[in-house]
Amino acid sequence: MKPVKDIYKNIAKKYTETYSDKEYPTDKYVDQFVSMMPKEARILDAGCGDASYTDIFLSKGFSVEGIDISEEMIKIARKKFPKANFKIGDLRKVNLKEKIYDGILCMQGTCHIAKKYHDHILKEFYKGLKEDGILFLTVQEGEGEGLTYWPLAGTEIFTSHYQLDEIKEKLTSIGFNIIFTDIYSPCKGDYQNNKLAIMARK
């Protein structure tokens, strides 16, 4: 099985060209996330990739930090948005400072990580959020974890999946309060299973 960061290294440019400047089902969720932020909010984009929504955050006067395991994707993000702070990092080892973020965005940021690490990651998100801070999380819908074919990459890649009740229970057990959930369809080039969108408050 090819490492996830190697797959992203090979497709970073293609990924950006494919997904940039298009409307996606997640746009409406991000708009709601933004509407819930205070002025001059501090945002963490966990598993940021090429930082698809950073332009919206910066336009609102938010400060933006991003973390991703792919060096190539971080290079693209830094080039696109030099005013934001992006770093290479592994969410499995994330260690956030307490109560510093108004919002954390994690859109498919955990989907290539084994589920045994997810409790740690979500607990760190909870720790890093200020009181009443907002987490917007999207995950792959399905059962278990394993190799999934990714049309854009033309190869199989490790992917974790959740049923809605399963991820809701995981979040609430940590202390999050669920604001809303939704299911949306994959876009062209994406994995051919539905996605789950969850907005939660600390």
Mean pLDDT of 17-42: 86
What is d(CA 127, CA 97) in angstroms, rounded to the nearest whole number? 7
Residue 160: per-residue pLDDT: 95
Sketch the domain layout of the chain as residue ranges. Answer: 4-201
pTM for this prediction: 0.92
What is d(CA 29, CA 195) in angstroms, rounded to the nearest whole number? 13
Mean pLDDT of 115-137: 98
What is d(CA 199, CA 51) in angstroms, rounded to the nearest whole number? 19
Residue 157: per-residue pLDDT: 85
Residue 24: per-residue pLDDT: 75
Cβ atoms of 189 and 149 within 8 Å: the answer is: no
Mean pLDDT of 166-171: 98
CA distances from 202 to 36, 128, 168, 174, 198 (A): 13, 10, 13, 9, 13
> What pLDDT digit, counting tens, does each position of 102-124 carry?
999 999 999 999 999 999 999 99
| Per-residue tokens: 120 | 């740690």
| Phi, psi dihedral angles at 160 (to 5 degrees) | -105, 150
Pick from 8, 161, 19: which is nearest to 74 by CA? 8
pLDDT above 70: residue 1: no
CATH number of 4-201: 3.40.50.150
Contacts of 57 (CB under 8 A, 6+ apart): 34, 41, 43, 64, 84
Q: What is the DSSP letter of 38?
A: P
Alpha carbon dihedral 50, 53, 57, 58, in 10-degree steps, equals 50
| Phi, psi dihedral angles at 168 (to 5 degrees) | -60, -45
Q: Given pLDDT bands bounded at 50, 70 and 90, which one contains residue 188?
A: low
Mean pLDDT of 45-74: 94
- SS3 for 12? helix
pLDDT above 60: residue 138: yes
pLDDT above 60: residue 20: yes
Share above pLDDT 70 across residues of the chain, in percent, rounded to a whole number? 90
Mean pLDDT of 42-53: 94
Q: Given pLDDT bands bounded at 50, 70 and 90, which one contains residue 52?
A: confident
